[in-house]
Amino acid sequence: MTGLMPRLGMAALAAVGLLSAPGAATAAPPERALTFSKDIAPIFQAKCQSCHEPGSIAPMSLVTFREARPWAKSIKARVATRQMPPWHIDRSVGVQKFKNDMSLTDEQIDTIVAWVDQGAPEGNPADFTAKPVAQGLYWQGQRDGYGPPDLVITAPMQTMPAVHQDEWWRPMQDIPITEPRWVKMVEIRPANIAGRKILHHSIAYHVLNPDNTAAVNTGIGFGGRNISLSGNANTPTAAELVNRRPQLMEWAIGKGYDHYMEGTGKLIMPGEKISWDQHIHAAGEEITSASEIGLWLYPKGQEPTKRSYLVGFTGLKNGTAGLDIPPNSIAYTEGFNVLKENTLITNFQPHFHLRGKAMQVEAILPDGRTEVVSYVSDFNFNWMTNYIYEDDAAPVFPKGTLIHVTAYYDNTKANKSNPDPDQWVGYGDRTVDEMAHAWMNVVYLSDTEYADLVAKRKAQKTPTTTARER
């Protein structure tokens, strides 16, 4: 059985073969002698330990020298190619300022590579200062300094057999609040450590109070046929809006949290519910687990003035029936999405299944100019990383802009996640089927707000890679 964690392990074991992969760091190693205790452990503690410690998501711990040393060559290969830490956004194009950048600096990579090339010595154990190991589950948002969530809602436990078709568990739960509150950050995680092996994705749909239908996004239209993601271009009735049930959050394996732009958020109201859509993938052992969502709330009196909407920008212009990935091939699709409002885009999270390879989001402005928003060139199914833009770097576009999503698929044996490159692959919800969309949180601006923001940024000459590129 090929579960999610075994894929991680296999990828790690295969890493030695990637030593000469294109894109590897080539800077000259530092000349001084490097040791684990003095030079490497601080890097690992800062950028690697949250996953590579006992009980966490990674298949091996890198906390101590004894634990890390056997993996030295693999570590070199993985960091030199920037597969690890899992920050796969291209560094040469698109937005480059992020709230949650976990990547290594070039200097850190050079240090690790040089340490391995020097024989990966331990050095003086007295130089090593241990960082406390977290026990069990953790909230990534808490680790990143936002404190614990104000509200946690845990779905009922259910059991997945060792070998079984993918399942979708869909219980509903109350949101336990007694007055309207604004959410500034959300995170979903498996409810126990074992659940990390089987939880492919989890969506917390927002079952709305009829007074909260403004939570439904209506500002995006799709080119081609509509598909069943948020943002239908129709003009719905109030009752239909209630039944739209927007996503409070979408989570997929490897994702952390959604952190909305300052002054924006999602409103939750008494009487509302969460309707879970948990996609479960068998992992070769019977596992009982569930999802849970953590909500960080704005303090009372600091309510935001703008709503943030989660949108799945499609990469399939011809709808689901148009996805055609022949056996042993590279394929691509594209999708066009119309911004009907002036729009700020605050993050990027590409979503594929096992054959996903790369995704580009590009804006085609009303005057015909194009701007690359973000490009993930080396997608890894096990890491649906969410790239959260710094507020002053979040791109803003006028109404009428097209968001063009290009999705690339690798259905060859070169793709380590591919369960069978001999199969034809089409659209579907199963892990072995494929899909392509860019999850992005957006904020809409009035014409005046848009003009003011553009003028403000122009005055500040906010540098972005996109601007430099142009």
Q: Which two tokens stand for residue 417?
A: 């996640």
Question: Biggest alpha carbon distance in the chain?
Answer: 70
> Does 420 engage in binding with another protein (CB under 8 A)?
yes
Q: Scanning residues 215 to 234, which ones bind another protein (CB under 8 A)?
A: 228
Residue 408 Cα distances to 22, 171, 323, 378, angstroms:
18, 34, 11, 10
Cα angle value 125/129/62 (rounded, 5°): 85
Nearer to another protein, 10 or 330 (CB): 330
Q: Which amino acid is at 423?
A: Q
Give yes or no for residue 238 binding another protein (CB under 8 A): no
**Nearer to another protein among residue 67 and residue 433 (C-beta):** 433
- Could you give phi then psi for residue 117, rounded to 5 degrees? -65, -25
Give every CB contact of residue 110 below 8 A, 6+ residues apart in sequence: 25, 27, 28, 29, 30
138 part of the interface to another protein, by CB under 8 A: no
Nearer to another protein, 166 or 390 (CB): 166
Q: Which residues of 166-202 are buried (b: 16+ CB within 10 A; e: fewer)?
A: bbebeeebebebeeebbbbbbbbbbbbebbbbbbbbb
Interaction of residue 169 with another protein, rule CB under 8 A: yes
Residue 330 sits in the site that holds another protein (CB under 8 A):
yes
**Interaction between residue 366 and another protein (CB under 8 A):** no
Write down the least CB distance from residue 55 to another protein, Å: 26
Q: Encoding tokens for residue 78?
A: 């993985």
Cis peptide upstream of residue 85 (ω within 30 degrees of 0): yes
Tell me the C-alpha distance between 470 and 370, whole Å. 9
Q: CB of residue 169 vs another protein: minimum separation in angstroms?
A: 6
412 binds another protein (CB under 8 A): no
Does 396 contact another protein by CB under 8 A?
A: no
Give the three-state DSSP class for 329: strand
Mark the segment that binds another protein (CB under 8 A) among 36-44, 132-140, 429-437, 457-465.
Answer: 429-437
* Binding status of residue 275 toward another protein by CB under 8 A: yes
Q: Which of 399, 433, 449, 454 binds another protein (CB under 8 A)?
A: 433
H or E segment to which residue 184 belongs: strand 181-190
Q: How far is the CB of 286 from another protein (least distance, A)?
A: 14
Q: Is 318 in the site for another protein (CB under 8 A)?
A: yes
171 counts as binding another protein under rule CB under 8 A: yes
Of the candidates 9, 17, 299, 326, which one interacts with another protein according to CB under 8 A? 326
What is the smallest separation between the CB atom of 29 and another protein, expressed in angstroms? 40
* Comparison of 179 and 422: residue with beta carbon closer to another protein: 422
Q: What is the DSSP letter of 434?
A: B
Binding site for another protein (CB under 8 A): 1-2, 163-172, 203, 205, 207, 228, 243-245, 275, 277, 282, 284, 318, 321-322, 324, 326-327, 329-334, 419-420, 422-424, 426-433
